[in-house]
A and B are shown apart, each in its own frame.
Chain A
Amino acid sequence: MGNRIIYLDHAATTYVKPEVFEAMKPYFTEHFGNASSIYSLGRESKKAIEEAREKVAKALKSEAREIYFTGSGSEADNWAVKGVAAANRKKGNHIITSAIEHPAIMNACKYLEGEGFEVTYLPVDSDGAVSLEDLKKAIKDTTILISIMFANNEIGTIQPIQEIGAIAREKGIIFHTDAVQAVGNVDIDVNKLNIDLLSLSGHKFYGPKGVGALYVKKGVRITSFIHGGAQERGKRASTENLPGIIGLGKAIELATENMEAYNKKLLDLREKTIEGLMAKVPYIRLNGHRSSRLPGNVNISFQYIEGESLLLMLDMLGVCGSSGSACSSGSLDPSHVLMAIGLPHEIAHGSLRLTFGDVNTQEDVDFILEEIPKIVSRLRDMSPLYEAVKNKK
């Protein structure tokens, strides 16, 4: 195999597309002007930022003035939750979110609990979907915000966003969605989907790291996130990350143009991988919804083995994946998402996430379908848990 790398961790991050990198370059060295400056060098920067804003707006079918650039997806999530909570505190102190949110939402909510807010963490079913009935029941007179992720980063399950948004709208509650994993993979129309706020991050769709955006529907009350200058309509001060914003704009433009073909390709790789592994390896389980899931997401638990060992063996073959096992997370508990869909600890420890992207091919799938069963059986031969199963038979 030599030094070939098979990158199957696109949900963690993507490379920057050459077209995106080319678009960014001049803004490091030549067109470096501060967008707040009056001279033409600064005005050019301002113009370029506004063009990038238009591109993001076009991708979400919103207005450009509803798009605010941030330093990351996590920042957009933090701003959405804390900013809406602070601005609407007089109306109530109750927030509804789900048990499977990204830590950027989860820990922002935990922080708000310490500040006197009340948070309901909606459970999910075994596929990882929230129930609309549960949501309706959780709504109180004091509910000011519902924040439910668009698509889950670990198991890929896509939530019924339009329906959640409709419920929120009917009750006059603000609806935010963390769409960091969805943007670039799913066609999004914020108005059609009843979304009031939406977070996205550049490095999940072949843009640069360190830049994200928050969509805030006109009229939604939210406090400023960084107090300072007048950048981002005074809501998020800081001299703009010019090359980053240009890169984000270019990347989202490309993602929107190529979405149909990209989805088709990923879906094909995903299905071949899921079907192939299910057919070849016994004692496994697909995590996440079978069809309502991100096109490039495969998440499978292999019973009787531990995820980090699996990742290390894959890494020796040049395959990059990820796992929800405790050992790969650095804590003693496996992923909160796998726990929330009801997996026993030992099965959650044996999970493997593979997320496909641009660079992957049919040959990659053939290779992993050849190698993963070998690795799994090698680890199972070493496992006292599997020994017990074999002896029972």
Chain B
Amino acid sequence: MYSEKVMDHFSNPRNVGEIDDANGVGQVGNAKCGDIMKMYLKIEDNIVVDAKFKTFGCGAAVATSSMATELVKGKTVEEAMKITNKAVAEALDGLPPAKMHCSNLAEEAIAAALEDYRRRNGLASDESVDCTGCCNSCGHSHGREEDFEDED
């Protein structure tokens, strides 16, 4: 059910761990739903120079976390903010429909870490990123199924 790329990122996840001097840290999801992603970013001169993650979750959650850290590295803060769940899923050659919410979690983890960075630097907007990413915890449409075509 998973693409080879998903399995590759699951079995050899890139950038697992923590960054001691991270200046942007975000955690989304909750244990009740079975997915938690914690993203650490190190940003210098407005560029993401390092990214690491820790994830509690299924194969897709681990793979999307891994891919998200790969995508975010080397980007400017503005570019990083534009990384979408769709981009993460596409970079993994797609995800099964039931797992699309995992890619959403990855987008939200990046956003939460960037928000933390902006807050620390007095750049934060009022818009807070407090969505847990849990599909049961609020009314948001996390799956954004309309963005994706079913692949069986």
Contact = CB atoms under 8 A, between A and B. Distances in A.
B34 A346 contact: yes
A308 B37 CA distance: 16
A327 B56 contact: no
- The 6 A-B residue pairs with the shortest CB-CB distance, nearest first, are A346-B31, A327-B58, A308-B58, A384-B38, A349-B34, A384-B54
Interface string A322-349: 0001111010101000000000011001
Contacts of A113: none
A382 B38 CA distance: 10
B32 A346 contact: yes
A268 interface: no
Given A309-B57, A309-B59, A387 B33 contact: no
Contacts of B114: none
B16 interface: yes
B18 interface: yes
Interface of B: 7, 10-11, 13, 16, 18, 27, 31-38, 54-62, 98-99, 135-136
Interface of A: 304-306, 308-309, 312-313, 316, 325-328, 330, 332, 334, 345-346, 349, 381-387
Contacts of A309: 10, 57-59, 61-62
Nearest to A333: B136
Contacts of A313: 11
Contact of B54 (A308, A312, A316, A383): A383
A382 B34 contact: no
Contact of B59 (A308, A334, A385, A386): A308
Contacts of A328: 58
Given A316-B11, A349-B31, A387 B59 contact: no
B54 A334 contact: no
A327 B57 CA distance: 8
Contacts of B27: 384
Contact of B55 (A312, A326, A384): A384
Contacts of A381: 16
B11 A385 contact: no
A305 B35 CA distance: 10
A327 B34 contact: yes
A332 B135 CA distance: 8
A385 to B, nearest CB: 5
Most chain B beta carbons < 10 A, residue from A304, A312, A316, A384: A384
A306 B57 contact: yes
Nearest to B65: A382
Contacts of B35: 306
30 contacts: A306-B34, A306-B56, A306-B58, A308-B58, A309-B10, A309-B58, A312-B11, A313-B11, A316-B11, A327-B57, A327-B58, A327-B59, A328-B58, A330-B98, A332-B33, A345-B34, A346-B32, A381-B16, A382-B55, A382-B56, A383-B36, A384-B27, A384-B36, A384-B37, A384-B38, A384-B54, A384-B55, A385-B56, A386-B56, A387-B18
Nearest to B18: A387
A346 B36 CA distance: 10
Contact of A325 (B18, B58, B60): B58
Most chain A beta carbons < 10 A, residue from B18, B27, B54, B56: B56
Contacts of A345: 31-34
Given A309-B59, A330-B98, 4 more contacts: A305-B56, A345-B33, A382-B13, A384-B56
Contacts of B33: 326, 332, 345
Nearest to A316: B11
Contacts of A383: 36, 54-56
A327 B27 CA distance: 20
Contacts of B135: 332
A325 B60 CA distance: 14
Nearest to B56: A383
Nearest to B36: A384
Contacts of A306: 34-35, 56-58, 61
